[in-house]
Chains A and B, each alone.
Chain A
Amino acid sequence: SQKIEQNSEALNIQEGKTATLTCNYTNYSPAYLQWYRQDPGRGPVFLLLIRENEKEKRKERLKVTFDTTLKQSLFHITASQPADSATYLCALYLWSSASKIIFGSGTRLSIRP
């Protein structure tokens, strides 16, 4: 069956450390993968997109990697801050369905001071 799994329902780390979130998928062939941030009571906010032919993408303190062989993406936040605390969602845009993206269930990240 097709699945998107975000390892760790919740992740707690110390301020200043690097947070690493994992997204694994099975039986999908994504054209690209997106990461979103969602705060309580709000809709997801787009952060980064990485294409299937890209290995790594960076934006400020964020870094995303995409390994289509392992069927895995890693999302890193360096020098984490309490303001980075939120739920992070990975989403796949599929070649087989050009009209929608499929979301994982999210990882709730807490950064403690």
Chain B
Amino acid sequence: QSVLTQPPSASGTPGQRVTISCFGSSSNIGSNTVNWYQQLPGTAPKLLIYNDNQRPSGVPDRFSGSKSGTSASLAISGLQSEDEADYYCAAWDDSLNGWVFGGGTKLTVL
């Protein structure tokens, strides 16, 4: 059971907008920033969003992050087939004194 809670799956058709939620608590998301990682099939994870809502250079502006209280969300607009991947949220947990990840959300582009 992961400390951060994500839906196991999400789906959408090309061009649609999808959102992936990440629920935590006051010791992690509620007091620290959230990062999102994208893992394409058979590859290592890659940073997608940092500091709740910042995009690294090279990440399309179709990807956006937000946070409110103890939950965070990743939104993908203009869905493309190459967005099919696993997405993970992560944050530092002050109580556990370590990093915690969500269980991951498998995004399928129909």
Do A and B interact? no
Binding site for B on A (CB under 8 A): none
User: Which residues of B approach A to under 8 Å, CB–CB?
Assistant: none
